[in-house]
Chains A and B, each alone.
Chain A
Amino acid sequence: QKEVEQNSGPLSVPEGAIASLNCTYSDRGSQSFFWYRQYSGKSPELIMSIYSNGDKEDGRFTAQLNKASQYVSLLIRDSQPSDSATYLCAVSTDTGFQKLVFGTGTRLLVSP
């Protein structure tokens, strides 16, 4: 069983729609959770971080964490073509959230 699992996609949504990206993790001791966006050939860029159960909103992005079910999700409202990228879920078991385990990423395609 992979430590961090994501559907590879691609997830296709029309412009203006809500994109929902999901991630499950296996280690119940995980403390910190992150979503990174990676454009092709580029380095990952931090989008959201979440540490406690519930929702966390930042602009068009909402991260949701459910530790009991061991899943974390990312919602992107009003999706734009520029949101088309691969979204990586990353999990850390240490409170210093330094050592990250990444999922394989979900490719999102937003069509105009």
Chain B
Amino acid sequence: GAVVSQHPSWVICKSGTSVKIECRSLDFQATTMFWYRQFPKQSLMLMATSNEGSKATYEQGVEKDKFLINHASLTLSTLTVTSAHPEDSSFYICSARDSNSPLHFGNGTRLTVT
């Protein structure tokens, strides 16, 4: 089945720094990838839809200048959390699908901002 790889699996950074998370589709091409965020004991919340070769579409309430998304190829999307703050600490999960299957998720990135 479709495999989505996410890196890093966890990261600790200091407040004010930026963190980049990569999401790769390993055995298929994904024109669209999705970025979710999950706070403890809460459900997944869609942050943005990443479109290959064009600007990402952000959900209401998500700051596009803080969460930079780049989808430069059919197999890679990146999410950069800029000027991270402790309240950005969360579990970030990307997902993608090929043409024949529902969404599959990457393994997630646990971000801790100190």
- A residues near B, CB below 8 A? 32, 34, 36, 41-46, 49, 88, 97-105
- B residues near A, CB below 8 A? 6, 32, 34, 42-46, 49, 91, 93, 97, 102-108, 110
- The chain B residue sitting closest to A100, CB to CB, is B103
Most chain-A CB neighbours within 10 Å: which of B97, B102, B105? B102
Q: Is the CB of A102 within 8 A of B108?
A: no
| A to B contact number (C-beta, < 8 Å) | 47
- The chain A residue sitting closest to B2, CB to CB, is A46
Q: Is the CB of A42 within 8 A of B97?
A: no
Candidates A36, A42, A46, A104; contact of B107 at CB < 8 Å: A42
A43 to B96, CA, bound (A): 13
Chain B residues positioned under 8 Å from A97 (CB to CB): 97, 102-103
Q: Is the CB of A32 within 8 A of B102?
A: yes
Q: Is the CB of B105 within 8 A of A43?
A: yes
Q: Is the CB of B44 within 8 A of A88?
A: yes
Q: Is the CB of A104 within 8 A of B43?
A: yes
Q: Is the CB of A46 within 8 A of B44?
A: no
Q: Is the CB of A46 within 8 A of B104?
A: yes
20 A-B interface contacts by CB (under 8 A):
A34-B103, A36-B105, A41-B91, A43-B93, A43-B105, A43-B106, A43-B107, A44-B93, A44-B105, A97-B103, A98-B97, A99-B34, A99-B46, A99-B49, A100-B44, A100-B46, A100-B103, A102-B44, A102-B45, A104-B42
Most chain-A CB neighbours within 10 Å: which of B43, B91, B106, B110? B43
Given contacts A98-B32, A98-B34, A99-B34, contact A46 B102 (CB under 8 A): yes
Q: Is the CB of B43 within 8 A of A42?
A: no
